[in-house]
A and B are shown apart, each in its own frame.
Chain A
Amino acid sequence: MILIFYYSVKNLQAQPTACHNLKNNILDQALSAASNYYDLSPLKAIMKDDEDFLLLMLHTFLRSGKENIVALDSCLLTKSSKTIGEVAHKMLNSYRQLAISETIHDLEQLELLIEIENPDFDVVKKSILNIKHISEIVFRGIEEEIVNLETP
């Protein structure tokens, strides 16, 4: 469901400018839906109106978040369960801080792989896919937040 919504927004973005206004409205709605998957207010409370600091943290989140998703993918291919656990452990702090709550349970389960031997990789794969899907939506939303913050 989430994926369909996300990719339909992506398709709209790729189209020529025929229904420009309509498209923008839908895009706005999609991005505002993306913001339902995270919450910047705890981070903003720490920053105390320091926009540069907020931007720095959003860029850092995007960079490390994307790297970690790539790492989860490659560890899944090699079935490196311990490393999956370690990557999930690294992700948990920022995901919790941005209240990306739809991923927390899966990340916590993956974190257990640091200690669990021979997991059921079908279950692991399901968790990683969910984290990836939600993360992609969140990344889009955060990218938009960055654009808004950087636009004078």
Chain B
Amino acid sequence: MQKILVIDDEIYICTLLERYLKKEGFGVETAFTGKSGLAKLKTESFDAVLCDFRLPDIDGRQMLSEIKIISQQTPVIIVTGYSDVRMAVSLIKSGAFEYVTKPIFPEEILEIIKSAIKASGAGVVFPSEMEALEPKTNSQGKYFTSGESPKFKEALKHAQMVAPTDMAVLIQGETGAGKEYVARAIHDQSTRKDKPFIAVDCGAIPKDIANSELFGHIKGSFTGAINNKEGYFEAANGGTLFLDEVGNLSYEIQVKLLRALQEKVISKVGDNKTIKVDVRILAATNEALSEAISNNSFREDLYHRLNEFTIHLPPLRERKEDILAFGRFFLNQANSDLKKNILDFDAETIDIFLKYPWYGNLRELRNVIKRGVLLSQSELFTEEVLPIEIRRFSSDSFEQINNGISFIASESIGGLKNASIEAEKEAIMNALISARYNKSKAAEFLNIDRKTLYNKIKQYNIEVDF
């Protein structure tokens, strides 16, 4: 019997999931605190863990990292409120299998648990955004989904241009923006297309085993090395190795990676012999590596090696045309997965989709649509099946910005200076609304520190609840 561990401080959720999953044939254990959940993981093995993002004793990010230390292979599904979606999406990059938002729907969780167990059983250790955004091919072998915005088309055009070369490419963009999609497009249009494409999420590999995962090890090289192991470099030989979140690699690994790039040789952990490899490296990052270089956490020589060509993938909110293109693709995907037949989005939903900022990018869009399809009772996807936070975002933005409730009217209108002040106020207000008045998050959205945000709020007399 497959066993699930549910960690949540709310007894209602634990009871609901425990009973529901038991009815579905799973063994279920529950824990109300992070510490008791970790204790259970140390004594029993589980096929999947469902973990609340906000536990009273340990936060979600730390829980994920502790679970991965105890049991690296166990898929972890993060349960979160909608206000933490952006954070939850980023946890996928740190090794979580998936996130689900509250209120929970057991059928949705059941489906995710099944795919998590299937994926871990199939040896897919680090599922990443590729799973969500995997480009499907039609009978002609061409993508049948793609972005329609000029910015996305430009990114794909650059991918097409660089594909036939052997240049290393650095793809920059936010989590969930589709970086792996672009990497896959490069591989599929390259001369290496019939060879392996291996995607590795560097953020999800625990630091102490990264060396062995990337370069392999020989039997007996360390405790637990009971067999020889082939690393990702060897597995990708002749093909393409996609290193997502490359900024997360330790300095020691960066040195080995640089050598692999320069000399095209690797050595396994515990082995002095070198192995020749022919691997094209594509890398991705959601952060400015130049900052990591300036504080010496990322090697500048490696950066230049990886950055022979750069493709910048803008976030979904900056390419509105893609929202519906991908939205309809995800709608079809969800129809097929859930055996439903929702024909399209209604006009109100489209309006909301276009207004919402989608900070979790394509992954968030896909999850929202999948849940909506699950809940839909009619032939059209209506706004009623959207999370209340998304519906409210649209109305809040409209009411608060247009009625000017939260602002003190400016003394005079006109002039370039006033225009820029108004734009800044609006940007701050939008960030506050989308962060649900969480100032730390709003500051993050605006890329300024919390103190600066406080000063701006005071300066512009922006009123916030409480």
Chain A residues packing against B (C-beta within 8 Å)? 46, 50, 53, 56-57, 60-61, 63-64, 86, 89-90, 92-94, 96-97, 104, 108-109, 111-116, 119-120, 123-124
Contact = CB atoms under 8 A, between A and B. Distances in A.
A126 to B, nearest CB: 11
Interface in B283-324: none
B131 to A, nearest CB: 26
Interface stretch (B267-275, B351-359, B435-443): B435-443
Interface stretch (B11-19, B132-140, B213-221): B11-19
Contacts of B107: 46
8 contacts: A46-B20, A46-B105, A64-B10, A64-B11, A92-B81, A93-B13, A97-B104, A109-B466
B102 interface: yes
A112 B466 CA distance: 9
Contacts of B20: 46, 53
A93 B466 contact: no
Contacts of B11: 60, 63-64
Interface string B74-107: 0000000101000000000000000000111111
A64 B9 CA distance: 11
Nearest to B14: A60
B409 interface: no
Contact of B19 (A56, A63, A124): A56
B416 interface: no
B466 A119 contact: yes
Given A60-B11, A60-B15, A89-B54, A115 B81 contact: no
A96 B54 CA distance: 17
Interface in B426-466: 436-441, 465-466
B404 interface: no
A92 B102 contact: yes
B56 interface: yes
B388 interface: yes
A92 B81 CA distance: 9
B54 to A, nearest CB: 6
Nearest to A124: B466
Given A89-B81, A116-B466, 6 more contacts: A46-B16, A56-B15, A60-B16, A97-B12, A111-B83, A124-B466
B23 interface: yes
Contacts of B465: 109, 112, 123
Nearest to A53: B19
Contacts of A109: 465-466
B432 to A, nearest CB: 11
Interface of B: 9-13, 15-16, 19-20, 23, 54, 56, 81, 83, 102-107, 388, 436-441, 465-466
B12 A57 contact: yes
Contacts of A94: 10, 12-13, 103
Nearest to B387: A96
Contacts of B10: 64, 90, 93-94
Nearest to A93: B102
A69 to B, nearest CB: 14
B336 to A, nearest CB: 22
Contacts of B9: 90
Given A64-B10, A120-B466, A123-B466, A112 B438 contact: yes
Contacts of A114: 54
A57 B16 CA distance: 7
Given A46-B105, A109-B465, A112-B466, A93 B12 contact: yes
Contacts of A92: 81, 102-103
Nearest to B13: A93
Nearest to A61: B12
Give the most central of A61, A109, A112: most B CB within 10 Å: A112
B162 to A, nearest CB: 43
The 10 closest A-B pairs by CB, nearest first: A119-B466, A96-B103, A94-B12, A97-B103, A93-B102, A60-B15, A90-B10, A115-B438, A64-B11, A93-B103
B466 A115 contact: no
A50 B438 CA distance: 40
A14 to B, nearest CB: 31
Nearest to B20: A46
A96 B103 CA distance: 6
B388 A93 contact: no
Contact of B439 (A86, A96, A115): A115
Given A86-B56, A104-B388, A112 B437 contact: yes
A124 B83 CA distance: 19
A129 B388 CA distance: 23
B86 to A, nearest CB: 14
A46 B106 contact: yes
Contacts of B102: 92-93, 96
B264 to A, nearest CB: 50
B455 to A, nearest CB: 16
B12 A112 contact: no
A50 B12 contact: no
B81 A111 contact: yes
Contacts of A104: 388
Contacts of B81: 89, 92, 111
A65 B31 CA distance: 19
Contacts of B16: 46, 57, 60
Contacts of A108: 436
Contacts of A89: 54, 81
Nearest to A112: B437
Give the most central of B13, B103, B104, B388: most A CB within 10 Å: B103
Contact of A60 (B12, B54, B83, B438): B12
